[in-house]
Amino acid sequence: MPEVMHFDEPSAAGEISELKDAGCADLPLTRIAWAVLDHTLNRRHVTLTTGAAGTSKTFTAERFTAQHPGVIYVYAGIDAAAPQSLMAKIARAILKRHRHPVTRGFPRAWVPELMELEHEVGKSRQNNGFLAHQVRECVDALVDMLIFDEVSPVQNNALESVRALHDETGIGVSLLGNLTFPTRFSGTQAQARFEQFTSRIDRREDLSTPMAEDYEALFDFHRVRGRRARDLIRRHAERDGNLRRAAFIVDQARCETPDGPLDLPQIAAAIDELGLFE
């Protein structure tokens, strides 16, 4: 495995502008996550981003996808652990993206191939070889980058199918997983077995537990006022969920106060509404 790379600032001011345009708070963690995705898209390499729950991996990936029509987001997870299941998920993600208004129509010539792909996915018994072929054809012609979220449960032979897809099409591949994911490649035997896969990972970033700067940037973005209100959110967030929990609290507060700043009474009411206790 490559050593963990630590990105400081994005390589261009345009990346920060894109991040803000996508509705992302300018947090240090989201800046890092966005920079890795941007690197993957531009270089068409394989990258790996790991981190605990609530460190902005999924949030940033979804918004990055929304900003780039050639990027396909695939939620892998336990139900896509096997190669054929993962291929089916890629196919569904392509079809979903094709219908999305932000994608201003895939080339008209590819409509029959997409229809064939949809037909194959809809079969109760799929021809796995043909489905993989259809996915590869569509990816080669229509996709610039695949983001695979929650890759930790994905089986080793399914990871090899991802490597093959990257090798055959030249697309960028971004893998997002928890901190345990890289451990499957440790040890002499594992390193030898996965050398073809790991040698293609040119950037790796471990997102740390959110720091004070991340929380403060989130609070500034959502106009949370007052030290007591901010500290109350952070206490609950650091208990479980990190930035995700903080965002849930702020979103709940926004249900009652759609506009304007959020003060301690609104934050306390949101926490109570969510059933969170000191």
Least reliable range by pLDDT among 38-47, 99-108, 126-135, 255-264: 99-108
CB proximity list for 44: less than 8 A, separation 6 or greater: 144, 145, 170, 171, 172
Is-contact 207 32, C-beta < 8 A?
yes
Is-contact 178 152, C-beta < 8 A?
yes
Give the pLDDT score at 17: 60
Give the pLDDT score at 85: 85
| Secondary structure string (H, E, C) spanning 223-243 | CECCHHHHHHHHHHHHHCCCH
pTM to 2 decimal places: 0.82
Nearest alpha-carbon partner for 181 in 33, 58, 5, 1: 1
Q: What is the architecture, at CATH level 2, of domain 13-207?
A: 3-Layer(aba) Sandwich (3.40)
Average pLDDT over residues 129-141: 84
Give the pLDDT score at 12: 47
Least reliable range by pLDDT among 91-95, 191-195, 241-245: 191-195
Q: Locate the domains of the chain by residue range.
A: 13-207, 212-273
pLDDT top residue among 35 and 193: 35
Give the pLDDT score at 25: 74
Give the pLDDT score at 61: 94
Helices 128-142 and 83-99, packing angle to 10 deg? 40
pLDDT tens digits for 77-122? Answer: 888 778 888 888 898 888 888 765 444 445 544 555 666 666 666 6
Per-residue confidence at 5, pLDDT binned at 50, 70, 90? very low
Strands laid side by side in the 201-207 sheet: 71-75, 145-149, 172-177, 46-51, 201-207
- 133 alpha carbon, distance to own chain's centre: 25
Give the pLDDT score at 108: 47
Give the pLDDT score at 45: 93
Least reliable range by pLDDT among 14-18, 31-35, 55-59: 14-18
Give the whole-angstrom CA distance, residue 115 versus residue 93. 14
Average pLDDT in the chain: 83
Per-residue confidence at 41, pLDDT binned at 50, 70, 90? very high
Token couple for 177: 């997983």
Give the pLDDT score at 18: 67
Give the pLDDT score at 10: 45
Per-residue confidence at 151, pLDDT binned at 50, 70, 90? very high
Backbone angles phi, psi at 176, to 5 degrees: -120, 125
Give the pLDDT score at 224: 96
Give the whole-angstrom CA distance, residue 136 versus residue 262. 48
CB proximity list for 126: less than 8 A, separation 6 or greater: 84, 88, 120
Per-residue confidence at 142, pLDDT binned at 50, 70, 90? confident
